[in-house]
Amino acid sequence: MMSDTIGEARIKVPDRIRRGDLITVNSIVSHPMDTGFFRDADGDPIPAYFIKQVVVTYGGKEVARFDWTSGISRDPVVSFTLRAEKEGPLTMVWTDNKGATFKQSVNISFAAA
Amino acid sequence: MVLRALIAAPQNGLTCPVLHPSFPQDMDSDAVPRRSFLCTCAVAAVGMIVSSSVVNRLLAATPGPEDPDVPNEEVARILQRISNGRPIRRGHVSLDMPVVAEDGRVVPVMIETDLPQTAERYVKAVHLIVDHNPDPHLAAFHLTPTIGAASITTRIKMKRTTWVRAIMETSTGEMWADYSRVRVTLNGCG
């Protein structure tokens, strides 16, 4: 668990990328992802609190958008692929149902031949 | 093949006909008369022999267990909304999930496909539906050609034992799916 700080996020891409590679992007963001169906120790309902959207941009262009519900597990992980066709930042922005946004970027750069 | 049809039949919830659940709706034209399946098991067995070539063809076209029934109105609405009436066929999609999930709070999901992800033709959306969750349409992943391959891995919550559906929509309007039945030991939804 990495739930100390809500919104703390990491993106992992391969160390060595060549132009045209199909790379795997692994990501995690710290978030409780409360469904609204559970109660706390005092019996009070815990309100729904979850990431509802993730936008992925690459070199400033949107390449993917995920619509989520509280059915995604706590501290959401998602892995997907990317065609490394250019050098530039890969950015993910997570937005929760209270309107908070959390952003993380990695730079896609090509290894020297 | 015949044995698989027999095993698959009870979970479809039909009482008498052994083979009936295996038949797609468009098979009326070339199948044995429907009446054959509506009487005794003995007659159904005869019908099975007569129609074994049909069964074999069907199983070859859709490997794996039978497609899950639509369990309720809400799932029916979701399927209608994402397909807009287009047929959702099993194939090209691989939904990899555990057969038994001991902790429903964290259930791994891996969705893959052999469909192309090019500028001309690509998977534009991947829908994940968990039939008996409080919010069955759990996630939608909207993709572009730059993603290179429609391959998604994540972790989800599951309330109880149910079918899970991974449905892909292509840029050319096709709908492809795969299904997994996951047994859940610990409710992960509250």
User: What does the pLDDT read at residue B71?
Assistant: 93
Residues of B in contact with A80 (CB under 8 A): 141, 143, 147, 151-153
Is the confidence metric ipTM above 0.85 for this complex? yes
Domain chopping of chain B, boundaries: 2-61, 73-184
DSSP secondary structure of B38-76: GS-HHHHHHHHHHTHHHHHHHHHHS-SSPPPPP-SHHHH
Residues 6+ apart with CB under 8 A from B117: A83, B123, B143, B145, B147, B148, B149, B150
Mean pLDDT computed over A26-47: 93
CB contact under 8 A, A67 and B156: no
Mean pLDDT computed over A35-64: 94
In which residue ranges of chain B is pLDDT below 50?
1-32, 37-64
Whether the pLDDT of residue A36 is over 50: the answer is yes
Minimum Cα–Cα distance from A82: chain B residue: B147
User: What does the pLDDT read at residue B3?
Assistant: 41
Q: Which CATH architecture has domain B73-184?
A: Sandwich (2.60)
Region of B148 on the Ramachandran plot (φ > 0 left; ψ -120 to 50 alpha; else beta): left
Tokens of A79: 């892995």
Mean pLDDT computed over A58-64: 97
Distance CA B50, CA B29 (A): 15
Whether the pLDDT of residue A86 is over 80: the answer is yes
Of the partner residues A69, A77, A81, the one whose CB lies closest to the CB of residue B135: A69
Do residues A64 and A80 make contact, with C-beta atoms less than 8 angstroms apart? yes
Distance CA B35, CA B42 (A): 13
CB contact under 8 A, A80 and B146: no
Do residues A58 and A93 make contact, with C-beta atoms less than 8 angstroms apart? no
Of the partner residues A24, A62, A67, the one whose CB lies closest to the CB of residue B139: A67
Using the 8-state DSSP alphabet, how is residue B122 labeled? Answer: -
Axis crossing angle, helix B41-50 with helix B52-61, rounded to the nearest 10: 70
Q: What phi and psi, each to the nearest 5 degrees, are found at residue A49?
A: -155, 100
Alpha carbon B13 to its chain's center: 16
Low-confidence winner among A22-36, A58-72, B44-58, B92-106 (lowest mean pLDDT): B44-58
Domain chopping of chain A, boundaries: 9-35+48-108
Q: Determine contact: A87 vs chain B, CB below 8 A.
A: no
Distance CA A3, CA B99 (A): 28
Helix extents (H) in B19-171: 41-50, 52-61, 73-83
Residues of A in contact with B139 (CB under 8 A): 66-69, 71-72
* Residues above pLDDT 90, as percent of chain A: 87
B136-157 burial code (b ≥16 CB/10 A, e <16): bbbbbbbbbbbbbbbbbbbbbb
According to CATH, the topology of domain A9-35+48-108 is: Immunoglobulin-like (2.60.40)
